[in-house]
Amino acid sequence: MPPALSVAIPAHNEEKYIARCIESVRASARDAGVEVEIVVALNRCTDRTREVAEALGARCVVDDRRCIAAVRNAAVRATTAAAVATIDADSWMAPGSVAAILRHVHDPRYVGGGATIWPERWSLGLFCSSMMVMPYVIRLRITAGMFWFLRERFDAVGGFDEDMVSVEDVDFALRLKAWGRARGLRWGTLWRHGITTSCRKFDRFGDWYFVRNPRVVRELFEGHNRKAADLFYYDFDH
């Protein structure tokens, strides 16, 4: 019998975080009373990410391209359930996330959707940095963080755009939303059962980083700026 839900996780040297992520998925699945499949896409890993993930029952695939969209696609395309959710390795689900995903993903009103994202800690700097991103979120009218969708719809829109080196998740959401709107479906958001994410990049760069470097925010949201993406993502040392 196929799993009720597949969860796709991209991972680059995530031995510090991957256990908490996978365990949160397992706990949320137990809370929902269902079986889930967890697929981890390993990207240029030189640490114990695979060992930790497999010890917790995840299935691993490898994609070493320097492109997060390609890694996300590798994870999703290795799944077997009709319903899929994506989550980053340094984030974790709420206890009610899996149940909420399954209620929404099979609801004929929705094409798919995202979820609320809460940082693991708050500070004035983090709040102000988040406000630097908020205009983009409001203008685009989508939520991200943890996507949920039917696999057939992922295939219909071609997955994540591998020509993009950043905000590939935002681009995917916009294309899926547009695909659904053309068919009378709407974008959904899990307001009460979202995710918590680490603040590791701000731990490294500083809580005020986006306030002090607004150009980086603009460059990241361009989606094709390799220098900005390398700085904030690909060359980030975990």
pLDDT per position as a tens digit, 133-174: 888 777 878 888 899 999 999 999 999 999 999 999 999 999
Percent of the chain with pLDDT over 90: 83
- Local structure of residue 118 (DSSP, 8 states): E
Q: Quick check: 102 pLDDT over 90?
A: yes
Reduced to 3 states (helix: H, G, I; strand: E, B; else coil), residue 37 is strand
pTM: 0.94
State mean pLDDT over 117-144. Answer: 89
**CA–CA separation, 197 vs 141, rounded Å?**
21
User: Which domains are present in the chain?
Assistant: 5-118+142-197 (3.90.550.10)
For the record, the structure tokens of 195 come out as: 């995710």
Position 237 scores a pLDDT of 63
For all residues of the chain together, what is the average pLDDT?
Answer: 94
What separation, in Å, do the N-terminal and C-terminal C-alpha atoms of the chain show? 37
Radius of gyration of the chain (CA): 17
**CA–CA separation, 82 vs 105, rounded Å?**
10
Q: Quick check: 15 pLDDT over 70?
A: yes
Q: Return the amino acid letter for 128.
A: C
Q: Return the amino acid letter for 194.
A: G
State mean pLDDT over 125-139. Answer: 87
The CA-CA-CA angle for residues 42, 7, 137, to 5°, reads: 95
**CA–CA separation, 216 vs 10, rounded Å?**
23
Percent of the chain with pLDDT over 70: 99
State mean pLDDT over 170-186. Answer: 96
